[in-house]
Structure 1
Amino acid sequence: MHVCIPYHKVLPVKTYGGVERLVFWHMKELIKFGHQVTFIGPEQSQVAEYGINHIACEKIEEWQKFVPDNIDVIHGFDNIKVELDIPYVINIGGNGFPGEKFDLNTVFVSKSHARHHGSTSYVNNCLDMNEYPAVYKESKISEIKSLLFLAKASWRVKNLQQSVKIARQTNKHLHICGGGSKFFGWHPLIHNHGMVGGQEKLDYMRQCDALLFAVRWHEPFGLAIIEAMTQGLPVFGSSFGSLPDLIAPGTGRTFYSHEEIIEYFNTTKDVYDRDFIRNYAIKNFSMERFTSDFIEKYEIVMSGKKLNDVEPEWIHPFRAGKRLPF
């Protein structure tokens, strides 16, 4: 099939990127699967060398003018509007707000994300595992001494404040990797590295024994969770959003309060197997799995069906960004 993907960012991304990396990886994987891909996006993009057709479009709101005639399906991201008579899917990565309606062909990024919008249509986010080679010092984690905070630190729902509290009250080092941190003041256990990506991020991950992901909102997915798992790190987080779906037995724990996490770290001595955690991530969150699942969605819409019976919408009366009790 011939898949058209419009996107407003330069690809491949040169530094830190979330959705940008996923879009690029998916296009490459579609090529591996034997499909044709046309990317409509910024002229500076360099995707042709990967076998991807590139149509330059500087004003992404005008992308529909550039769609070739032989396209079978359009894959849009970030709630982009499709007004062409061509089958399409829309990949939504964020939460809606009360009263907001989503397209009938919306695909959410996790089972929980779909459920919180009254939908069952989802494809789990993923990683290109080739970019996350594992380097273990030891195959087992029998003692957690160092924690990783990997998120946009300035976003209060990511809960840096309580993460610092957990580290200090359990005598564990906390490595903060994420831009916009407002944590000031020196403490021997707290290490603020700012926004990092690529090899630098991998290096910090490999210094740590676990990811602390104590978010205070219904997290749509949380790429940091599976990034940590590729390095064999267990994940300890809240019970909101996607976390209970992603964190399986043997790969970490979810909790209902930060006090529960503190008690766990101070009293429990579980042993975690790095290979088990990494293999779980590869099996469930690989690029091959993501692309296979989306091809199934493509086939549904190409047959004339919709992915949702009714327009999905945020099911809660409160706004998605409200901090939940933790």
Structure 2
Amino acid sequence: MKIAQIAPLAERVPPKLYGGTERIVSYLTEELVRQGHDVTLFASGDSVTSAKLVRCSDMALRLNPAIQDPTPYHVMMLEEVRKRADDFDILHFHIDLLHFPLISTFAGKTVTTLHGRLDLPDLKPLYTAFPNIPLVSISNDQRRPMPPVNWAGTVYHGLTSDVLPFTGTPGDGYLAFLGRISPEKRPDRAIEIAARAGMKLKIAAKVDKADEASGQNQIAPLVSKPDNVEYVGEINETQKADFLGNARALLFPIDWPEPFGLVMIEAMACGTPVIAFECGSVPEVIDDNVSGFIVHDLDEAVDAVGKLDQFDRRTVRGSFDKRFTAARVANDYVEIYRSLISEYGNIGQLPLHAANGNAAPFAISETA
């Protein structure tokens, strides 16, 4: 199968530091190549891949201080995709929505994975205007705010089995917080949980420009005061294995409709249980009392810290191996690709807009 993967340009594929979408694109791309597919990756020029690489910027845009507006680079990438569209059996987009008008003549041979939150008010009219584009959700909960659209399936994220090694005995007695310093991720909750539980908390996180103000005003004072909190900054993949593997648990105290939460399965791959608040995708990812605890408030979270000894870290890793490997992700997507290709061949061009807002004339069973 000839497959195009179209990645965001903010980070390279895979990212050097933070970058969940680009990391997933990398795992999927490499597994598809391993399975024998002919894959072309449209991504930043510093990306590293065994697929054919179409370099769409010199380097990851976030790491290039000369870049002020990423939009022109994505538009140029999409023009290159348009020129080559006939070369592929399927085109898989990971850039949310910028390409929608472009694919009007070949929408039926495309699929778009939505990696972000879908509850923002400006999104509903957009997706209402484009009801026929095949879409993939990364959790079933992610779909809840959406108007009727053409869902091709739900595919949970996954990692390569060896990217984060299992750690049977954590070396240090600390709790971990990994991700972004942003209000919805609630690092303030993590700090309070650790303080009340009498444990050290290590925070490894990036701060986006949009979150710099809240990070400085709200989080920095919390981090600087307690003796039990250590901020280690943004970390790479090698550092992540040590950071998560040596933690007693990962705290995931979110306060927003998390579409997936890649860090949860990264912790599970290390054998580290997760204490997560019941929001968004959490009940779909965490097997309560098996790979972690699902909690509803700070009291329950503190109580959960006291019960961490009940977890068998090999069982936590087993939950990852059973549900969240890159091989499973690739198999799920290949099934969707084949269904789309079959339908596209039967009905020809899939129109971008449906009369009276009706869904596309085909339905594809979900994968999970």
TM-score (norm 2): 0.75
Cα distance in 2, alignment partners of residues 125 and 110 from structure 1: 9
Q: Is residue 2:276 matched to residue 1:259?
A: no
Other-structure match for 1:73? 90
1:127 is aligned to 2:163: no
Describe the SS at the equivalent of 2:86.
Answer: coil
Alignment of 1:137-156 (within 5 A): 137=169, 145-153=173-181, 155-156=182-183
Q: Which residue number corresponds to residue 24 of structure 2?
A: 22
Whether contact under 8 Å (2:177, 2:203) holds in the other structure is yes
- 1:3 alignment counterpart: 3
Match runs of 1:282-321 below 5 Å: 282-304=321-343, 310=359
CA–CA separation in structure 2 for the residues paired with 1:224 and 1:277: 14
Match of 2:142 among 100, 109, 113: 113
Amino acid at match of 1:133: P
Pairwise CA RMSD: 2.6
- Contiguous gaps of at least 5 residues in structure 2: 58-72, 208-214, 345-349, 351-357, 361-368
Distance across 1 between alignment mates of 2:325 and 2:36: 18
The one-letter amino acid of 2:154's match is Y
Q: Secondary structure at the match of 1:131?
A: coil
Q: Aligned AA for 2:315? A: F
Task: Output the CA distance in 2 between the equivalents of 1:54 and 1:68.
Answer: 15
Q: Write the distance in 2 (CA, Å) between the matches of 1:156 and 1:105.
A: 32
The answer (yes or no) to whether the contact 1:4–1:67 under 8 Å persists in 2 is no
**CA distance in structure 2 between the partners assigned to 1:212 and 1:54 by the alignment:** 37
Distance 1:87 1:149, change over 3 A: same
Instruction: Report if aligned partners of 1:64, 1:84 keep a CA contact under 8 Å in 2.
Output: no
Alignment match, 1:183: 220
Distance verdict in 2 for CA 1:200–1:216, change over 3 Å:
same
User: 3-state DSSP class of the match of 1:94?
Assistant: coil
TM-score (norm 1): 0.84
Structure with greater proportional helix content: 2
Quick check: 1:83 aligned with 2:104? yes
Cα gap change, 1:122/1:15 in structure 2, threshold over 3 Å: closer, same or farther? same
Identity percentage over the alignment? Answer: 25
The unaligned stretches of length 5 or more in structure 1 are 312-326
CA contact (8 A) 1:111 1:124 kept: no
Q: Which residue of 2 aligns with 1:194?
A: 233
Correspondences of 1:93-104 after superposition (within 5 Å): 93-96=115-118, 97-98=120-121, 99-102=124-127, 104=133
Match of residue 42 from structure 1: 44
Per-residue deviation, 1:6: 2.1
Query: Does the residue aligned with 1:194 lie in a helix, a strand or coil?
Result: coil
Residue 173 of structure 2 is aligned to residue 164 of structure 1: no
How many angstroms does 1:258 deviate by?
1.5
Q: Distance in 1 between matches of 2:85 and 2:279?
A: 42
Q: Does 1:60 align with 2:74?
A: yes
In structure 2, C-alpha distance between the alignment counterparts of 1:84 and 1:45, rounded to whole Å: 29
1:321 alignment counterpart? none
Size of the alignment, in residue pairs?
Answer: 301
Q: What is the rounded CA distance, in whole Å, between the counterparts of 1:300 and 1:84 in structure 2?
A: 19
- Between the aligned partners of 1:163 and 1:56, the Cα distance in structure 2 is 40
Runs of 4+ with deviation above 6 angstroms: none
Q: Is the 8 A contact 2:195 2:228 kept in 1?
A: yes
Q: Identify the range of structure 1 (114-123 vs 14-23) with the bigger mean alpha-carbon deviation.
A: 114-123
CA distance in 2, matches of 1:291, 1:222: 19
Residue number in structure 2 paired with 1:318? none
Looking at structure 1, the residues matched to 138 and 241 of structure 2 have their Cα atoms a distance apart, in angstroms, of 24
Question: One-letter code of the match for 1:77?
Answer: H
